[in-house]
């Protein structure tokens, strides 16, 4: 009898079979990445992470902005509702989303945008379900306690209702920093 045990386990046990070039296959496929953005600096970091993941995975990147009419938002409390101003704001955000997507497409062509109206956390969940999203990348913000109390936390609501994995970035996180 040799000095080796009968139950010897191969070194690569539990790993998927190697590709011909020696790389191991990843059993998880990420084909569609959704990045909800409110077009702030924090959400631009989420777009950077989306790009950093979509490129090597060959995933379709979708940038989503949800416009919430100020008549139903906290801003309404601050003054009278002006529908012309709301339409101008909506047009501004739609134009800004398109410009952001054009910048992203310079680095990665497989990028789409979607512009929706409604409550952001609800529309993000709806978009993920309708588009069969594999991963959502969303950023948090430094809200004060009053804003959080009045608006709630979108990331928390999304986390509880989402049908797919979510990567939540803390405010101030960028692709070059550790999370």
CA distance 83 to 70: 9
Confidence grade of residue 71 (pLDDT, cut at 50, 70, 90): low
For residues 31 and 169, the model is more confident at 31
Q: Is residue 26 part of a domain?
A: no
Q: Is residue 174 part of a domain?
A: no
Which pLDDT score is estimated for 5?
Answer: 43
Q: Is residue 158 part of a domain?
A: yes
Which pLDDT score is estimated for 151?
Answer: 55
| DSSP per residue, 141-171 | ----HHHHHHH--HHHHHHHH-SS-EEEEPT
Helix (H) or strand (E) holding 55: helix 41-57
Find all residues with CB under 8 Å of 132, minimum gap 6, and list them.
Answer: 32
Give residue 116's domain range: 32-169
Q: Is residue 79 part of a domain?
A: yes
Provide the number of structural domains found in the chain.
1
Which pLDDT score is estimated for 85?
Answer: 80
Report CA Rg, the chain: 21
Kindly report the pTM of this predicted structure.
0.72
Confidence grade of residue 169 (pLDDT, cut at 50, 70, 90): confident
Burial class (CB in 10 A: 0-12, 13-18, 19+), 37: buried
Q: Is residue 2 part of a domain?
A: no
Which pLDDT score is estimated for 80?
Answer: 56
- Plot region of 73 (φ>0 → left; ψ -120 to 50 → alpha; else → beta): beta
Cα–Cα distance list, 29 to 16, 58, 165 (Å): 14, 10, 12
Find all residues with CB under 8 Å of 89, minimum gap 6, and list them.
Answer: 67, 70
Region 100-122: mean pLDDT is 94
Percent of the chain's residues with pLDDT above 70: 63
- Report the CATH number at residue 87: 3.40.50.620
* In contact, 162 and 134? CB cutoff 8 Å: no
Q: Is residue 109 part of a domain?
A: yes
Q: Is residue 20 part of a domain?
A: no
Average pLDDT for the chain: 77
For residues 157 and 172, the model is more confident at 157
Which pLDDT score is estimated for 130?
Answer: 95
Q: Is residue 123 part of a domain?
A: yes
């Amino acid at each position: 009898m040799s000095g080796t045990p009968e139950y010897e386990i191969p070194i690569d046990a539990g790993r998927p079979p190697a590709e011909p070039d020696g790389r191991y296959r990843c059993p998880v496929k990420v084909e569609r990445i959704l990045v909800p953005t409110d077009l702030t600096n924090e959400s631009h970091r989420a777009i950077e992470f989306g790009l950093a993941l979509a490129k090597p995975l060959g995933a379709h990147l979708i940038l989503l902005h949800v416009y919430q009419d100020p008549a139903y938002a906290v801003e309404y409390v601050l003054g009278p509702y002006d529908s012309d101003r709301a339409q101008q704001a909506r047009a501004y955000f739609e134009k800004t989303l398109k410009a952001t997507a054009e910048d992203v497409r310079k680095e990665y062509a497989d990028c789409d945008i979607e512009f929706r109206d409604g409550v952001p956390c609800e529309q993000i969940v709806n978009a993920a379900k309708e588009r069969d999203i594999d991963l959502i990348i969303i950023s948090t913000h430094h809200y004060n306690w009053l804003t959080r109390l009045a608006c709630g936390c979108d990331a928390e609501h999304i986390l509880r209702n989402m049908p797919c994995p979510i990567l939540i970035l803390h405010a101030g996180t960028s692709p070059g920093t550790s999370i």
